[in-house]
Structure 1
Amino acid sequence: MLTKLPSELLDMVIDQISSRGDLKRLCEVCGHLYGRTMPYLYRRSLTLSAPNLSLDDLAVAFEGISREYSRYTKDLGFNIPAHLIAPGYREGFPRCVHKSSDGVADPFSILNLALSSPSLRFPADQLETFRWEVPTCIPSNLFCGNDAFLRNQRNIRSITLITDSICPANVMTQNAVDLVQFKKLQSLNWKGLNPFGNYKALSACIKAHGHQIRSLTLDILSDIHEDHKWLRSYLVHEEGLTLPAVYPP
């Protein structure tokens, strides 16, 4: 019966389906429903995940996105399962791929190549939410540089970052995070800030967008209260910032 409905009515029906699982099952009914449902499936949220702490697997998942439907995506995330992040993460053990790269010159190389590929780039100003929920340093081609994946996404309003605050790699491998470019940013959730550049990036973001940020959550993934006090002291006294009221005490 659904296939006999006018396209406008069918779209209204599909739009009422809130479960991503139900949307996937509807895609499997027939070719007609597949074509009508896929844009809604991509529009809700697209999370690229890897079965282990492998950036190469994330690159494969990213390259496998259907370009026919990715133009509908507003919420994009890269994710490593929580059980790979949690063990020892808050207790001070580095989880970044630099720790176990086994002599690989740049463990980010394959992912960086995918992120900078023009053929894999999303349409300009399409994304509204971005999530990097991976306990590593930031890939160089994610935020910064002319070929950065997010360079043309100026409509992003919400950013979630989970990084490794204590990566033992050389400071030169800690890539910059440019948050100032997101002029509509209203929400920032950052866990695992690394002193090698992350604090400066955070400071620049608050100076530029602090007046409009509605939600600010920072966690250096340390259970030592003094570490959190030090971050606040750095932002307020050394950078001269007035933290948004939404920042936790």
Structure 2
Amino acid sequence: ETPFFVNATAGTTVLGAFDPLRAIGKIAKQYNIWFHVDGSWGGSVIFSEKHKYLVDGSNLADSIVINPHKMLGAPLQCSFLLAQNSQIFAHANSLGAEYLFHQGDSQYDLGDNTVGCGRKPDAVKLFIGWKIFGTEGYRARIEHLFRMSEYLSRRLKSNKRFRMVLKERQNLQVCFWYVPEGIKEYWLNGENEECSENNGNGLRIKINGEDKVLLGVRDGDKSVPSETSNGDKSVPSET
């Protein structure tokens, strides 16, 4: 069997991981397989000279998708799909019915490139934002976001009540565990998997028959937050 295509991710949803695009792209080219890069979340780092190394090799992609409404702050919904050969979308999606489109010079008519024959104005949102902020503005935005992420990471690492999920991050996500006094000893002894499971179970309650994850408060107790019957969503206090 021949694979339909190879997909690599530039910025996963939870941990923000970047696949080694160049290495994957070379393998895809070697076997003549369509190489797609899902840069929905992390693809916008291309605007930053400091962080664009994360998407090194994206130029090898046959197609790539990026969502400017995420890291660039464009209005929802704003997504674009680029390809080395844009005509392939027309060949793949066009129905060819005469009543759908007038034939002629329609190089700017995107309707016959989509399954639904639609012409979403997502490009206008990105165009206007790019005109207002410029490439330099987008660069500054990306690098500011990374600085804020790094600041939060440093603060959490310096606080003994928190444990980082990853030693090193690649993207903006800062994933961490809150480790209360009641389970700190077990955590430090390497029993963190069991503690994590028990901690998570302690936070799960049912509301209207459905599982909900809440943080309950029990005054004066720094152990695992208790379940509350009133649906209290406040975060455990320092005292």
Q: TM-score, normalised by structure 2?
A: 0.24
Structure label with greater radius of gyration? 2
**TM-score, scaled to structure 1:** 0.23
